[in-house]
Amino acid sequence: MLATERADPRYAGIEDLSTLDLARTMNEADASVSAAVAAVLPDVAAAIDAVADRLAKGGRLRYVGAGTAGRMAVMDAAECPPTFSTDPDLIKAVIAGGKAAEGGAVEGTEDDAAAGEAAMADDGIGPADAVVGLAASGRTPFVVAAVREARRRGALTVGLSCNTGTVLSEAAEHRIEVEVGPEVVAGSTRLKSGTAQKFVLNMISTISMVRLGRVYRNYMVDMKVANQKLAARAVRMIREITGAGPDEAEAALAASGNRVKTAVVMLELGVGAADAEARLERADGRLSGALAA
């Protein structure tokens, strides 16, 4: 039996625990996830380097999942455009059952291997792209079939599961097997398994964006300024990077068209918005490169 499906005897009496003790039990279980992820960080890093290389050369990243794993993928992909100003098509999630499955279960779709293959064909997945398949069990037919088809098409493939020696790992070029063990509620992989998958997805998307120059120091300088909170954050970033005063930073942000990197180059090099944009373009969008040129 898969480790993620086993019933752990330590949790056999949870219905008799007080709410506080049960919360402590779940918290202790969740605390073990970080160590499980730490144990496979070399595999995670190797996969990220390969993904970032595809993206740097103009490829796309696709997450493929079903159920909880699919919804984790949707969440991570959806945050990339506002955080890093990526094109919405650069990083997307493919979930078994489509849009209807994003908000709830669509029964039977995770078993449809043909749909997984078709999803890769419909999206035109090819050698330039990277596909990350997520399945806590490591055997979800929709996901495994999608990864196999993506690999057949020449795409980089990664299998992320929470068991070892899985079919998904065999199907993918890169394997990430995070051994979280049995869940507090047996088989409920939205718990530790879901947390582990989100941990790894955070790393894949964030570190890839760092490698692509969409982060400067530890600032999200490609962030979209879409509301008052983000406008205040943008001004704060500009001030902290350049040492400018609040009025100067606000004026530069406005003159840049709400583009943080452009505003920073304007202030640091004493140039106008058009010149700053040109310098960033020559530096492939990397703020460090534009400032050094």
pLDDT value for 100: 86
- What tens-digit pLDDT sequence spans the chain (293 residues)? 899 999 999 999 999 999 999 999 999 999 999 999 999 999 999 999 999 999 999 999 999 999 999 999 999 999 999 999 999 999 999 999 998 888 777 778 999 999 999 999 999 999 999 999 999 999 999 999 999 999 999 999 999 999 999 999 999 999 999 999 999 999 999 999 999 999 999 999 999 999 999 999 999 999 999 999 999 999 999 999 999 999 999 999 999 999 999 999 999 999 999 999 999 999 999 999 999 97
Residue 149 designated active-site:
no
- What per-residue confidence (pLDDT) applies to 89? 97
SS (H, E, C) the chain: CCHHHCCCHHHCCHHHCCHHHHHHHHHHHHHHHHHHHHCCHHHHHHHHHHHHHHHHCCCCEEEEECHHHHHHHHHHHHHHHHHHCCCCCCEEEEECCHHHHHCCCCCCHHHCHHHHHHHHHHCCCCCCCEEEEECCCCCCHHHHHHHHHHHHCCCEEEEEECCCCCHHHHHCCEEEECCCCCCCCCCCCCCHHHHHHHHHHHHHHHHHHHHCCCCECCECCCCCCCCHHHHHHHHHHHHHHHCCCHHHHHHHHHHCCCCHHHHHHHHHHCCCHHHHHHHHHHCCCCHHHHHHC
Give the pLDDT score at 108.
81
pLDDT of residue 107: 73
Catalytic residue, chosen from 5, 79, 102, 248, is: 79
Task: Choose the catalytic residue: 15, 28, 102, 110.
Answer: 110
